[in-house]
Amino acid sequence: MFFQQFKVEGLGCLSYMIGCPQDGRAIVVDPKRDVNDYLKAARLNKLKITGIIETHVHADHISGAAELSRQTGAPIQIGSGSPVNYDHLPLNDGDQIILGNSKIEIIATPGHTPNSISLAITDLSRGDMVEMLLTGDLLFVGSIGRPDLAGGELLEEQIRNAYHSLRVKLDKFPDYVEIYPAHGSGSLCGAGISAKPSSTLGFERRTNPFMQLDFAPFREELLKNTPHRPINFTHIINTNLQGAELIQNLDAVSEYNPLTCKKFLAEDPENILIDLREATAFGGAHIPGSYNIGSAPNSALWVGNVVKPESEILLLANNKAEIDTAVTNFRRVGYDKIKGYITGLMGWVLAAEETGFLPQITVHSLHHVLEKYTNHMVLDVRNEQEWQSGHIAGAQHLALPQLINEGFSCDLDQHLSVICMSGYRSNIAASILKQRGYKNVYSVIGGMSTWKAAGYKYE
């Protein structure tokens, strides 16, 4: 049997290729939008991709099923009853797919979505026992899939479905069976997901809290730990229901000069400039009104929290390679209206255009400021768990997603320093606050990790 896991860094998306080298066929499960990795793996292992399986309609990333189907001719298969509007083959509970020595059995496991499925994999060359489970977004390593994405009216039903799928549908499988989920650490499809890419059913039964609880505390814990919903999730779901636009049909991303950039930003207040440079470069000088979402593996996740998916976007980075990476990453999460890019800020500066400034403050300077000015505000934009692990005395806490979605209110002239764990999220938050009219905003370089390393007190 051939088996390979593929990971999208930053998003925590996991996909799989299963096949049989002797038979020469393979299927891909939950493909990411850019499909070259699967084509390369198939070519290197002399396999032909003859099927594409979706364990559910994804909410956090655009599926690559349509793209892979176009390039291979393989049909798309998804759980029976899934409300998709593209050509597909339905998969029913108990269906089997045989690829030489590889057997795949379909298990209906609703909970994350009403029509979710899991896959039980058997290597027939070694015996007739199930060796592994591809659990989709039902069971993660250390957690389970959130039940709320199908809509509030289905929430209670989905919670009951999830409990039944975990405790009844998976009950027939022994402890030694390996589990391979559709997401790992970094995904917002569940809370507290481990960074480990796989586990065993027995280990999860003994350590995963959701596998040990009776229904009432299971429901309470699941509702309490549901992550926030990024603003692009609805768009992603709708796109995946219809089938994603092929990448070859998307508009080309062309280079802009300062004049065309200025015109683009003036045409529509919804048009967005995302500055991908590191925090200190953005802080020194940037195009006014731009968002600083630095080039990083999780940048697409934060774009999904900050930028409306219908917005037209320009990108600014140090070089074309960073632009190309960002385009791939952002298209994975539904941002297809990337109109152009600018490399570097020098052209803007030499055109005598106005630049913005976001002061970067070290933890040492912040410590001195707080000793001297008792009215200086510290805004901590980390999540609740990070906040509880230790924070600066007197700091205000507002997690970045809350700041984005609910806003932040204080005097626009208030002097405030924004802090996170490392300085990445604080620059996003500070750039948003500057855009919303706050005049005296600082971003703390190195964040709370550096504050603690410096030996300064925290609560």
Q: Which of 308, 334, 306, 107 is nearest to 242 (CA)?
A: 334
Amino acid residing at 386: E
Q: Which of 218, 245, 317 is nearest to 277 (CA)?
A: 317
Phi, psi for 450 (deg, rounded to 5)? -75, -35
| Tokens linked to 268 | 């529509």
142-143-144-146 Cα dihedral, nearest 10 degrees: -160
List Cβ neighbours of 88 (8 Å cut-off, separation of 6 or more).
75, 76, 77, 78, 82
From residue 411, alpha-carbon distances to 225, 396, 428, 441 in Å are 33, 14, 20, 12
In contact, 11 and 333? CB cutoff 8 Å: yes
Instruction: Show the DSSP H helices in 215-296 as ranges.
Output: 215-224, 233-242, 258-267, 279-284
List Cβ neighbours of 162 (8 Å cut-off, separation of 6 or more).
110, 111, 112, 138, 144, 145, 147, 222
Q: Which of 63, 226, 221, 211 is nearest to 150 (CA)?
A: 226
Phi, psi for 421 (deg, rounded to 5)? -85, -40
The catalytic residue among 13, 20, 189, 420 is: 420
- Cα distance between residue 124 and residue 128, in whole Å: 6
Q: Which of 121, 6, 106 is nearest to 56 (CA)?
A: 106
Per-residue DSSP letter, 249: G
Radius of gyration over every alpha carbon of the chain, rounded to an integer in angstroms? 24
Phi, psi for 47 (deg, rounded to 5)? -115, 150
In this structure, the number of other CB atoms found within 10 A of the CB of residue 216 comes to 8
Report the DSSP pairing between strands 338-343 and 313-317.
Answer: parallel
Name the region of 244 (left: φ>0; alpha: ψ -120 to 50; beta: rest).
Answer: beta
**Diameter over CA atoms, the chain:** 74
What pairs with residue 443 in β-bridges? 360, 418
Report the DSSP pairing between strands 272-275 and 313-317.
Answer: parallel
Please say if 261 is a catalytic residue. no
Active site residues: 420
